[in-house]
A and B are shown apart, each in its own frame.
Chain A
């Protein structure tokens, strides 16, 4: 009897021994190791610049100096706080979140509900957009016009393609190049002569048509591909456009680019005006185009077309089964996005007066996608904010960190943002719901993707 008891006890203790994990594998300590690793990484990130004479120089500097200990103390401190003082902190954080979130959420709800308030806010934003820039320094005016506004226009265009129709387009910036080179061509600044020389204003409709046609030509054979295949094809398309611009010297000017491209000007009913290198006039022009595009697109979003796009994005097969002509609507989204990109290209080219192929590297297509997701795809205020924030950030970082490290911080920010707030800064309601459903395993967030790797 007792022998049986002991043997049972033995088995039980053996089993519990098997179940017990070594102390260093307990969750608390794995978290500690993670924080230590993070501390070391932080020390490397904030350390000195290395050089090729001695590739160990920077490693040595940041792994032996006091910097390492500061970083380790910081991360281990965070760990200790989270492990041993988590309840009070969590309570405080939750309270703070609720305090901030409730009025924010309430405001959002009211915005969505109350039409008058909504229009009032839109009007206010517009007035601010017209007034505030004149109070900025010329540097920030330049950043605002040359980069933020151009990318905002692009982001609105890409939002149609990816946010509404759900097509993963990694070659969006190629159409910007098409618009830019159209401008150079029609103003007579390329090695090939145009049939007639035009004012940049007249190039806009031409560029829209050119980009529409290019978009259709690319889209028609490839849009039956889905998800990642479409991504790689559009990426390849961008690479081809970029390399043709660079290599076809006789047509595009090759690496030397095109210069002396005229500014916008009009001479109508006795009123003459030429946009110059001053940023503000171009700002008003860009605001005009951005507002125009927003108005057009938001009308589309709530029309039959917009609903068809949503259906395609959420489930293409179901949409097709319900009689949505998926190919036609996908092509339409693709071409509309492309022509927006082209318009941005025209304005850019005319503003700068000069282009070369290095303005259109593949990286730009990837970056613009990041802007849209970062802001919150599907929502126009979201993508505007995303483009503004991510274009502004590297310029602002110039004053604080080594110039060459700026994109390292941008990369880190993207990763952190995607982990903690994948829906973006200002997500569209529908998108938020889709993401939530995906998290709960009820459906897919995009037609292009089931959740990756299943659920662990």
Chain B
């Protein structure tokens, strides 16, 4: 059995003959979602460069990119390319749930561990899939959705909530959980879908105002939340607004300007602006890539560091399957949160924290359940 597995992966020696060990990233590096892919890629690159600069690994770490455009149909070739490169010992990604669905059987067959920083579809960790080498490095959306619902129900005592998803895996999942929570609390919910890249948000904003809702949940990413927030302000919406970690990003405030003021944002990540480590990360990132870190940059950075920590512990004797098993059992405290996984590779739950945009800054409020009381 072991021999068979080794023959399959072709990974007998310690990761390639020339002493280099590679960490790959699989995600959208072309097509419509490049911005997100680049955020993650840079996080991975930064972690690898820092580890090499430190020089205590005893071997050289290299970065490999594999572009799947975020599409299920392109993901198999992208994954196979990574698998065929024998010096790759771990993969950060795949970034999107659809791509994860088609790539994971291949990774499972090769015993090559993949830790996704962003694939949130709850069904991915269903044991029926047999995705044995997939670890989810991001909480699926149930805690956030539930947190939003509790906060609206208990703290703000909302009566009618306008709930929007953006027709992505992420948005639909988050909105689904929030809807359940709100309904359980006896709140009237208007569930709507506004797909990404809608050309004009004016009509939607008007609909929100006309519905006389006193609170709003936007389950989606900042690229679309920003123009929507602007139109909401123009339409004269006065109620509360909340969004999840896809929007919890400085770029949301930059793009939406004043309109983002008072928006609530949730995140499973702890206070990102206070901790010294995060500040240093932002500064390093800015220096290396001439731009600020974006959505999932810090998560990818954390996951890469988690992998590097395991490599360091293995002292160079790295093979794919032992690394996979070690990572599955590991617990790692990163900048954003503590990473550990249950037996299906699901992220072990963390608390959800609430932020609010105040004076053009995303200000930390506290643990959402404690705030709700």
Contact = CB atoms under 8 A, between A and B. Distances in A.
A355 B101 CA distance: 9
A246 B167 CA distance: 8
Interface in B66-105: 66-67, 70-74, 76-77, 80-81, 83-84, 97-98, 101-102, 105
Contacts of A356: 72, 98, 101, 169
B290 A53 contact: yes
A137 interface: yes
Interface residues of A, number: 39
B279 interface: no
A421 to B, nearest CB: 26
A51 B30 CA distance: 15
Contacts of A147: 73-74, 77
Contacts of A359: 71-73, 98
B272 interface: no
Nearest to B83: A138
A307 interface: no
Interface string A400-434: 00111111000000000000000000000000000
A260 B77 contact: no
B34 interface: yes
Contacts of B71: 358-359
A138 B80 contact: yes
A142 interface: yes
A358 B98 contact: yes
A51 B172 contact: no
Contacts of A141: 80
Contacts of A246: 167, 195
Interface stretch (B121-129, B232-240, B307-315, B321-329): B121-129
B168 interface: yes
B30 A404 contact: yes
A395 interface: yes
Contacts of B74: 147
Nearest to B122: A256
Chain A interface mostly helix, strand, loop or mixed? helix
A358 B97 CA distance: 11
B27 to A, nearest CB: 10
Contacts of B109: 277
A148 to B, nearest CB: 10
Contacts of B318: none
Contacts of B98: 257, 354, 356, 358-359
B282 interface: no
Nearest to B255: A52
A355 B169 contact: no
A21 interface: no
Contacts of B102: 352-354
Contacts, number: 102
Contact of B101 (A139, A143, A354, A402): A354
Contacts of A191: none
Interface residues of B, number: 42
Contacts of B105: 277, 353
B29 interface: yes
Contact of B72 (A54, A57, A247, A355): A355
B291 interface: yes
B158 interface: no
A255 interface: yes
A398 B65 CA distance: 9
B367 interface: no
B338 interface: no
Interface string B259-293: 00000000000000000000000000000011110
A406 B30 CA distance: 8
A315 interface: no
B6 interface: no
B14 interface: no
A143 B67 CA distance: 13
B172 A142 contact: no
B67 A403 contact: yes
B72 A139 contact: no
Contacts of A407: 30-31
Contacts of B29: 402-404
Interface in B1-60: 29-31, 34, 38
Interface in A126-175: 137-139, 141-143, 146-147
Interface string B115-151: 0000001010000110000000000000000000000
B106 interface: yes
Contact of A138 (B84, B97, B169): B84
The residue among B31, B98, B106 with the most chain A CB atoms within 10 A of its own CB is B98
Contacts of A402: 29
B350 interface: no
A404 B41 CA distance: 12
Contacts of A257: 72, 98, 101
A398 B29 CA distance: 10
A407 to B, nearest CB: 6
Contacts of A260: 128-129
B73 A51 contact: no
Given A53-B291, A353-B105, A395 B77 contact: yes
B51 to A, nearest CB: 23
B193 interface: yes
9 contacts: A57-B290, A139-B84, A247-B193, A255-B171, A256-B123, A354-B101, A358-B70, A398-B81, A404-B67
Interface of B: 29-31, 34, 38, 65-67, 70-74, 76-77, 80-81, 83-84, 97-98, 101-102, 105-106, 109, 121, 123, 128-129, 167-169, 171-173, 193, 195, 289-292
Top 4 closest pairs, chain A to chain B, by CB: A403-B67, A403-B29, A354-B101, A142-B80
Given A255-B169, A352-B72, A395-B77, 8 more contacts: A51-B290, A138-B84, A147-B77, A353-B105, A356-B98, A356-B101, A404-B29, A406-B30
Interface of A: 51-54, 57, 137-139, 141-143, 146-147, 246-247, 249, 254-257, 259-260, 277, 348, 352-356, 358-359, 395, 398, 402-407
